[in-house]
Amino acid sequence: MAISKATRKSTENAEIFKRRRQKVMAGLKEAALLVAAHPEHVRNDDVHYPYRQDSNMYYLTGFEEPESFLLLRPGKTPETVMFVRQKNVERETWDGFRFGPEGTKKEFLIDEVYPIEQFEAKAVELLKGYEDLYYRLYKNPEADHRVQTVLLNLKRAHGRSGYGLLTIKDADTFLGEFRLRKNEDDLRNQRMACEISAKAHIEAMKFTRPGVTERQVQAVLSHAFYANGSGREGYNFIVASGNNATTLHYNFNDQVCENGELLLIDAGAEMNFYSGDITRTFPVNGRFTPIQKKVYEGVLKIQKEIIDYIKPGIYFKDLHAMGESRLTDLMIELSLVRGRKEDIMKANEHRKYYPHGIGHWLGMDVHDAGLYMIKGEPRPIEAGMMFTIEPGLYIPANDMTAPEELRGIGIRIEDNILVTERGSENLTALVPKEVDEIEKLMASTR
Ligand code: GLY
Ligand code: MN
Ligand code: MN
């Protein structure tokens, strides 16, 4: 029998995750919380997609193996419990190192860790007496099935007591509120993710010239991500030249960047599961045409105005409303839409050229967890929250109602904003976005 040589260390200090668990447990009150690992997905035949742990599982453990559960039982003994795959020399020889129950307990500072095979039996014991369980259904069908078995066995274990099933509350909504407010542990990674993403965008700008393919630009971004310490991209690369930029989440990235076109890059690196999310739009040949410059600077002015407005106490929906209003003004100025502004907005005509929102929470998921409204009411922005500001204007090449010179122009400018006590900090300000800065940077490489 082969001996598995693989070893592995957790990439972050286990104390970070312990602090997070303690904070979350303090909010659980009388309930327990169960988090399942993300499922593995087959790509083709026996090849899997690269595995990425569920964000909540990572947030609370730092543990990156599939087929595992975390159970939190505040105030009880054991208080923190995990179920993980057992060590298996043969599987580890093929697929890599496993911590196993003992290794997990020690490395991840968990009170008790059992083999995953014991989940159903042990979970019934450990959940006895609870009325509420936080768990997110429908993310991992196999885990859901196992949880259902536990719930049924728990009910049976109550005998003829009249008790029904344990109430399931949504764990992702609950945990989202913790993830939404970033502390120094979170921000260390968030800042690195933004910095690595920013450096990659600069490299891509320097590299781009007529004749390169979108894929080659993607390769430059990807190289800069990994070379600077990122583990993976936070979402699929969007490298969209010319008219492709009018597709919001264009992912083919297989066309040639032509002279005279703009290139829109929306790409973000992950650092310890925190993602950047930057978009820049710039000319393939390094110089904006007068009309490209006019549209670009129109969008840029709006982006900067909105960022300047950010401070604790404002509402996210107001930022969105500002974006819609200012972009409609720009559309009127460019003769993309005609008539009175109120009528245009009431009829949603402006949505034709700006069909998305002004931004979204940013963190471990690019479209991060956390409520935007609480019981139907908008929530005030607080220091420590992170979000993107990304106004855009997209005019498809086949839009015969648009002035001809504007057709095929797609522009988005996106930065990552941390709300501070006094206002905000732009964590992606490193990437040039002023016309003269972009042109200067690009000229320096040709
Ligand atoms: N990268 C996706 C987005 O900006 O929302
Ligand atoms: Mn975004
Ligand atoms: Mn983006």
Out of 236, 266, 280, 415, give the residue to mutate to test ligand 1, the one with the largest number of ligand atoms within 8 Å of its CB: 266
- Residue of 20, 179, 350, 412 with catalytic role: 412
CA of 443 to the centre of ligand 1 (A): 28
Task: Give me the percent of the chain exceeding a pLDDT of 70.
Answer: 99
- Residue of 186, 270, 277, 368 with catalytic role: 277
Identify the band that residue 160 occupies on the pLDDT scale cut at 50, 70 and 90: confident
Residue 176 in this model has a pLDDT that exceeds 70: yes
Q: What is the pLDDT of residue 1?
A: 47
Q: What is the pLDDT of residue 3?
A: 58
Which residues make up the environment of ion ligand 2, defined by Cβ < 5 Å?
277, 388
Arithmetic mean of pLDDT, 215-221 = 98
Identify the band that residue 288 occupies on the pLDDT scale cut at 50, 70 and 90: very high
Q: Please say whether the beta carbons of 416 and 386 come within 8 A.
A: yes
CA of 423 to the centre of ligand 1 (A): 23
Atom of ligand 1 nearest to the CA of 234: 1
181-443 — its CATH code? 3.90.230.10
CA of 264 to the centre of ligand 2 (A): 13
Instruction: Write down the mean pLDDT value for the chain.
Output: 96
pLDDT tens figures, 347-372: 999 999 999 999 999 999 999 999 99
Q: Is 366 in the pocket of ligand 1 (CB under 6 A)?
A: yes
Residue 178 in this model has a pLDDT that exceeds 70: yes
Nearest CA to ligand 1 atom 4: 277
pLDDT tens figures, 299-338: 999 999 999 999 999 999 999 999 999 999 999 999 999 9
Q: Is 277 in the pocket of ligand 1 (CB under 6 A)?
A: yes
- Residue of 249, 254, 338, 434 with catalytic role: 249
CA of 26 to the centre of ligand 1 (A): 33
Q: Is 390 in the pocket of ligand 1 (CB under 6 A)?
A: yes
CA of 388 to the centre of ligand 2 (A): 6
DSSP letters of 240-309?
EEGGGGGSTT-----SBPPTT-EEEEEE-EEETTEE--EEEEEETTS---HHHHHHHHHHHHHHHHHHHH
Q: What is the pLDDT of residue 6?
A: 65
Q: What is the pLDDT of residue 5?
A: 60
For 344, other C-beta atoms within 10 Å of its C-beta total 19
| Per-domain residue ranges of the chain | 14-178, 181-443
Instruction: Give yes or no: 356 in active site.
Output: yes
Identify the band that residue 208 occupies on the pLDDT scale cut at 50, 70 and 90: very high
pLDDT tens figures, 92-142: 999 999 999 999 999 999 999 999 999 999 999 999 999 999 999 999 999
CA of 356 to the centre of ligand 2 (A): 10
Inter-CA distances, 131 with 123, 175, 352, Å: 14, 19, 49
Residue 265 in this model has a pLDDT that exceeds 90: yes
Domain 14-178: state its class: alpha beta
Q: Is 361 in the pocket of ligand 1 (CB under 6 A)?
A: no
Instruction: Give yes or no: 367 in active site.
Output: yes
Task: Give me the percent of the chain exceeding a pLDDT of 90.
Answer: 95
Atom of ligand 1 nearest to the CA of 267: 1
pTM of the model: 0.96
- Residue of 46, 342, 404, 421 with catalytic role: 46
Arithmetic mean of pLDDT, 403-415 = 98
